[in-house]
């Protein structure tokens, strides 16, 4: 602060009122501190404050802080009196004490809770009841979200009553932006292929072509015109992989006994979709499943529908 030089004096003039104020404050606080310390010392001398037991950690902290202050004031003194502080042993000691204080800080943070509790018991004068040191669950509840908590409880209660039902979403085929024309083309192609391999066309082929007639094991596997159906193929694969025989289902047994049951009449009478598609005359019609007739005398609604005469 005090330096030789004229420009330095100008700076000093600027800082002067502030410096005076600071010095005044320093004087006041120093007086207060000294009075406090004197009273504490007298208390300790009289034996009112017991200082034997206590956290040694805190003692270390106080001692280091004191040494730090002493060294710091020595440095300030030297600077105020104009001496340089280059290569002073004070500086080294200050650095050492500073590092110690830094190391103490996280430990201090961890002990904070315990120290607070002890201080509280000392102040309130309660007995050293071990249960008073247990956790306080009321402190854990957040006091901000009270409204939200109440609502959530109600909703949870109502939800628990009903069973979770997963959404019924059936997977649908993705047609990747097919245009109507290409779709028609595909349908036509499929219908043509079906027509070519239908029973009628096969018989015609046998009649008119010179190829030898093919007989073979056709019912169990290789039943359809293009060999075994998908189901039969899958069953065969499963049986061969797992070395087991799957039992015969009821419909399979019936088909074995009466192979043409239910299908012969349809085969014979199903002309329309077969040939005209091949010639390109007619567009393939949608396959409609035969409507089921109500079983027995009484229909669904419980009465027989009368035919109008």
Partner 1 sequence: MSNRLLNRKQMVVDVIHPGQASIAKTVIREKLAKMYKAPADTIFVFGFKTAFGGGKTTGFGLIYDTLDFAKKFEPKYRLARHGLYERPKTTRKQRKERKNRMKKVRGTKKTKVGAAAAKK
Among 244, 269, 290, 291, binds partner 1 (CB under 8 A): 244
Among 106, 125, 216, 296, binds partner 1 (CB under 8 A): 216
Q: Which stretch binds partner 1 (CB under 8 A): 33-41, 119-127, 213-221, 269-277?
A: 213-221
Pick from 198, 191, 260: nearest CA to 225: 198
Residue 243 contacts partner 1 per CB under 8 A: yes
SS3 257: helix
Residue 252 contacts partner 1 per CB under 8 A: no
Q: By rule CB under 8 A, what count of residues binds partner 1?
A: 12
Residues from 33 through 52 that contact partner 1 (CB under 8 A): none
Residue 217 contacts partner 1 per CB under 8 A: yes
Q: How far is the CB of 222 from partner 1 (least distance, A)?
A: 8
Residue 218 contacts partner 1 per CB under 8 A: yes
Residue 257 contacts partner 1 per CB under 8 A: no
Q: Which is nearer to partner 1, 155 or 240 (CB)?
A: 240
Q: How far is the CB of 226 from partner 1 (least distance, A)?
A: 17
Around 210, how many Cα atoms within 13 Å sit in the side-chain half-sphere? 0
Among 8, 16, 80, 219, binds partner 1 (CB under 8 A): 219
Q: Which stretch binds partner 1 (CB under 8 A): 119-127, 148-156, 191-199, 214-222?
A: 214-222
Among 102, 129, 138, 240, binds partner 1 (CB under 8 A): 240
Residues from 132 through 191 that contact partner 1 (CB under 8 A): none
Around 118, how many Cα atoms within 13 Å sit in the side-chain half-sphere? 8
Among 34, 221, 229, 285, binds partner 1 (CB under 8 A): 221
Q: How far is the CB of 218 from partner 1 (least distance, A)?
A: 6
Residue 84 dihedral angles phi and psi, to the nearest 5°: -85, 155
> Exposed, middle or buried, 281 (CB in 10 Å: 0-12/13-18/19+)?
exposed
Among 88, 96, 108, 220, binds partner 1 (CB under 8 A): 220
Find residue 224's DSSP bridge partners.
227
CA distance 16 to 22: 10
Sign of the dihedral defined by the CA atoms of residues 229, 230, 235, 237, in that order:
positive
Residue 82 zone, left/alpha/beta (φ > 0; ψ -120 to 50; rest): left
- The Cβ of residue 101 has, within 10 Å, a number of other Cβ atoms equal to 15
| Cβ–Cβ under 8 Å, residues 202 and 225 | yes
- The Cβ of residue 71 has, within 10 Å, a number of other Cβ atoms equal to 21
Q: How far is the CB of 237 from partner 1 (least distance, A)?
A: 11
> Exposed, middle or buried, 250 (CB in 10 Å: 0-12/13-18/19+)?
exposed
User: Which residue ranges make up the site for partner 1 (CB under 8 A)?
Assistant: 215-221, 239-240, 243-245
């Amino acid at each position: 602060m005090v330096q030789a030089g004229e420009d330095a004096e100008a700076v000093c003039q600027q800082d002067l009122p502030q410096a005076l104020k600071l010095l005044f404050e320093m004087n006041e606080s120093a007086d207060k501190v000294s009075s406090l310390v004197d009273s504490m010392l007298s208390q300790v001398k009289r034996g009112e404050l017991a200082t034997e037991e206590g956290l040694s950690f805190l003692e270390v902290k106080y001692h280091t802080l004191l040494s730090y202050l002493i060294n710091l004031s020595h440095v300030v003194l030297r600077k105020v009196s104009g001496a340089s502080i280059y290569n002073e042993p004070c500086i080294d000691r200050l650095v050492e004490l500073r590092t110690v204080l830094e190391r103490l800080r996280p430990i201090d943070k961890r002990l904070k809770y315990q120290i607070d509790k002890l201080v509280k018991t000392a102040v309130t004068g309660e007995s050293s009841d071990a249960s008073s040191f247990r956790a306080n669950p009321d402190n854990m509840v957040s006091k901000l979200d009270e409204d939200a908590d109440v609502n959530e409880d109600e909703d949870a209660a109502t939800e628990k009553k009903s069973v979770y039902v997963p959404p019924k979403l059936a997977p649908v085929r993705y047609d990747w932006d097919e245009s109507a024309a290409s779709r028609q083309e595909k349908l036509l192609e499929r219908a043509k292929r079906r027509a070519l391999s239908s029973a009628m066309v096969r018989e015609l082929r046998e009649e008119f072509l010179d190829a030898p007639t093919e007989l073979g094991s056709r019912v169990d596997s290789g039943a359809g015109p293009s060999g075994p159906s998908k189901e039969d193929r899958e069953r065969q694969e499963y049986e061969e992989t797992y070395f087991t025989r799957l039992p015969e289902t009821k419909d399979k047994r019936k088909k074995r006994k009466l192979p043409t049951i239910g299908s012969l009449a349809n085969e014979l009478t199903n002309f329309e979709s077969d040939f005209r598609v091949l010639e390109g005359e007619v567009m393939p019609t949608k396959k409609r499943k035969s409507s089921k007739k109500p079983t027995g005398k009484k229909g669904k609604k419980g009465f027989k529908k009368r035919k109008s005469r």
